[in-house]
Amino acid sequence: MNKDKKAIVVAGSRGIGKAIADGIRELGYEVEALSRTTLDTSNLKNVKKFLDKGPETDILVLNTGGPPAKDFFDITEEDFNKYYNQLFLSFCLLLQKVKIRDNGFVFLISSYNIKEPNPKLILSNSYRIAFTSVLKSVSKLFAARGINCINIAPGPIKTDRLYALVEDINVLEEKLPLKRAAEPHEIGDFVKSIVENNIKYLNGVTINFDGGHSNYIL
């Protein structure tokens, strides 16, 4: 049914990205699941080389890992520049230059920390919310072509990043409302469901995917 349709998943070789790529592939899409070796969003030369190929897709998934936890006064200028490229500028370039076909989808995988900032994750908080603003702004432009822009803001998900950020995942899970962190496939299944059912009135939104862990209302 979808044999001529394509999806590009940034950071699609592991974790949440792989789960999304696997789910979309089950719908019959040709999926280009990009690893960091293929597309390193912290390296603008690498991003521009990818864009020189003239990529075209029906679904674009903007996903990437995040910076390590650091106190604000320990963040270096190199850190600021690297993660500005990785979390913001590269995504802007991809959104501008990748040809997204009419009636397609753009999914951003951000973080619930964009609404409830973690003082140890200032780089992630800041650059992710900045790009969230970009996606929200352009969602109305894309809507004219039937392209939906959806930001998914995950809470604790069992990925390498979560294990790197917490000392004891069992202690964390005891504090969560559902007493567990989510599995990556749960986000993959969610994205798959939106695409499979062609949910087209969901646009320009940020969806909290945190099991009720966050304290904010909107």
Question: Does residue 163 lie within any of the structural domains?
Answer: yes
Question: What's the pLDDT score for residue 216?
Answer: 82
Question: Does residue 218 lie within any of the structural domains?
Answer: no
Q: Give average pLDDT by consecutive 10-residue segment, the chain, 218 residues.
A: 88 97 98 96 97 98 94 97 98 98 98 92 96 98 98 94 90 94 97 98 96 85
Question: Does residue 213 lie within any of the structural domains?
Answer: no
Domain that includes residue 166, residue range: 6-206
Question: Does residue 211 lie within any of the structural domains?
Answer: no
Question: Does residue 214 lie within any of the structural domains?
Answer: no
Question: Does residue 47 lie within any of the structural domains?
Answer: yes
Question: Does residue 135 lie within any of the structural domains?
Answer: yes
Question: Does residue 92 lie within any of the structural domains?
Answer: yes
Question: What's the pLDDT score for residue 17?
Answer: 97
DSSP 109: E
pTM here?
Answer: 0.95
CATH code: domain of residue 155? 3.40.50.720
Phi and psi torsions of 92, nearest 5°: -60, -45
Number of domains in the chain: 1
- Helix or strand holding residue 115 (H, E): none
- The DSSP string of 130-152 is HHHHHHHHHHHHHHTTT-EEEEE
Measured CA distances, 103 to 5, 25, 68 (Å)? 11, 18, 36
CB within 8 A of 140, min separation 6: which ones?
Answer: 204
What is the CB-side half-sphere exposure of residue 30 using CA atoms within 13 A? 7
